[in-house]
Chain A
Amino acid sequence: MVDAFSSPADRPWQGVSPRLKTLRVFRLAPLVTLPWWLVSAFAWNASPILRIALVLLGFIAFGITFFLIVQNYKSWGFVERDEDLWVMHGRFFKKLVVVPYGRMQVVDLNAGPMERALGIAKVKLHTAAATTDAVIVGLENAEASKLRDRMTALGEAMAAGL
Chain B
Amino acid sequence: MNPPQNYPPPQYSPANQFPPQNSPYGQYPYMAEDPDQIRARWRLPRRTHPLSPLIRLAPLLIVIFIILIPNTNARQNTASGSPGFTFLSILPVFITPLIIALGGFITWRFRKFWIENGELRISTIFITKDTKHVKLNRIQAVDISEPLTARLFKLAVVRITVAGSARSKIVLAFLRIDEAHDLRTALLLPSPGSDPMASIIAQMPEVPLIAIKGSELIGSTLCRIAPYFALLTVIIITIIASTGVIQVFAFLPFLLFYAAVLASKQYSMWSEFKLGTVPGAFRLTHGLLTLNHETILFNRVQAIRVEQPLVWRPFGWYRVKVNVAGLGDLKSQNMMQTVLFPVGSLSQAFAAIHALLPDLDLARVDMNYPPRRAAWRAPWWSGATCVGSTPTAVLIRRGRMKRQIDIMRMDKVQSIRITCGPWESLLGIGSLAIDSTPGPVKCIARWRDLGEARLLAEHITIMARQARIQKNAQ
Residues of A within 8 A of B (CB): 1-6, 8, 83-84, 92-100, 102-103, 127-134, 160-162
Contact = CB atoms under 8 A, between A and B. Distances in A.
A92 B422 contact: yes
Contacts of B416: 97-98
Interface string B434-474: 01111000100000001101110110010011001001100
Given A4-B420, A94-B420, A128-B325, A100 B461 contact: yes
B437 A128 contact: yes
B23 interface: no
A160 B472 contact: yes
Contacts of A133: 417
A96 B415 CA distance: 10
B471 A99 contact: no
Contacts of B454: 2-6
Nearest to B438: A130
Contacts of A92: 421-422, 425
Interface string B393-418: 00000000000000000001111111
A129 B414 contact: yes
**Interface SS, A side:** loop
Q: Which 3 A-B pairs have the closest CB atoms?
A: A129-B435, A4-B450, A129-B414
A5 B418 CA distance: 8
Interface magnitude class on chain B: 35 or more
Contact of B437 (A1, A97, A134, A162): A162
B288 interface: no
B237 interface: no
B468 A160 contact: yes
A128 to B, nearest CB: 5
A127 B414 contact: yes
Nearest to B429: A4
A84 B325 CA distance: 22
B418 A131 contact: no
Contact of A4 (B415, B418, B461): B418
B433 interface: yes
Nearest to B471: A160
Output the residue of B325, B420, B472 with the most chain A CB within 10 A.
Answer: B420
Contacts of A97: 415-417
B419 A93 contact: yes
B326 interface: yes
Contact of A131 (B422, B430, B433, B453): B433
24 contacts: A3-B450, A4-B420, A5-B420, A84-B465, A92-B421, A92-B422, A92-B425, A94-B420, A95-B419, A97-B416, A99-B414, A100-B461, A103-B413, A127-B415, A128-B325, A129-B435, A129-B437, A131-B442, A133-B417, A160-B471, A161-B472, A162-B299, A162-B300, A162-B437
B425 A131 contact: no
Contact of B325 (A3, A8, A95, A162): A162
Contacts of B471: 160
Given A84-B461, A100-B465, A162-B300, A4 B419 contact: no
B418 A96 contact: yes
Interface string B299-311: 1101000000000
B338 to A, nearest CB: 15
B47 to A, nearest CB: 36
A129 B436 contact: yes
Interface in B226-266: none
Contacts of B433: 131
B194 to A, nearest CB: 14
Contact of A132 (B299, B430, B435): B435
A4 B435 contact: no
Nearest to B420: A94
Contacts of B417: 95-98, 131-133
Contact of A98 (B302, B415, B442): B415
Contacts of A93: 419-422
Contacts of A130: 437-438
